[in-house]
Amino acid sequence: MGGLRLKTILKTLLELINDTDKINTISPKTEKFINENGYSRLIQLIEAERAIKVVDGKKILEDGHGNNITLDKNGVVVWKKNGNKKYTLRRVGSNEVPNLQVAQ
């Protein structure tokens, strides 16, 4: 059990018996994203997602959200950071709309 340390055990115990109803609702993935890219980038992705329009049965992301933010083939917002590293932001339930294509 190489990674197991007394500190980890104590921390886990403290978390288990803690008395608060506090919760950090930011997921670890998002926290990592914010630490690496800043929260303004995250807001930018949210705004891009909210600006997706449907024209003639096709999803379109209006101009003005540049900075390598595009839609992938499933209509999910993608931000290509650099090289082969990219992030996707999807609104839960957004893929439940049937028969929509993405304008290329």
CA distance 90 to 77: 6
Exposed, middle or buried, 41 (CB in 10 Å: 0-12/13-18/19+)?
Answer: middle
By CB under 8 A, is residue 1 in contact with another protein? yes
Residue among 10, 67, 91, 101 that touches another protein (CB under 8 A): 91
Query: In the set 6, 92, 98, 99, which binds another protein (CB under 8 A)?
Result: 92
Distance from C-alpha of 88 to C-alpha of 104, rounded to nearest angstrom:
17
Contact string 6-25 vs another protein (x = CB under 8 A):
---------xxxxxxxxxxx
- Residues 60, 70, 90, 100: which binds another protein (CB under 8 A)? 90
Q: Select the residue interacting with another protein from 35, 56, 57, 62 (CB under 8 A).
A: 62
Backbone CA torsion sign across 60, 76, 35, 39: positive
CA–CA separation, 42 vs 50, rounded Å?
Answer: 12
Residues that bind another protein (CB under 8 A): 1, 3-4, 15-27, 29-30, 32-33, 39-40, 42-43, 45-46, 49, 51, 53, 62, 64, 84-93, 96
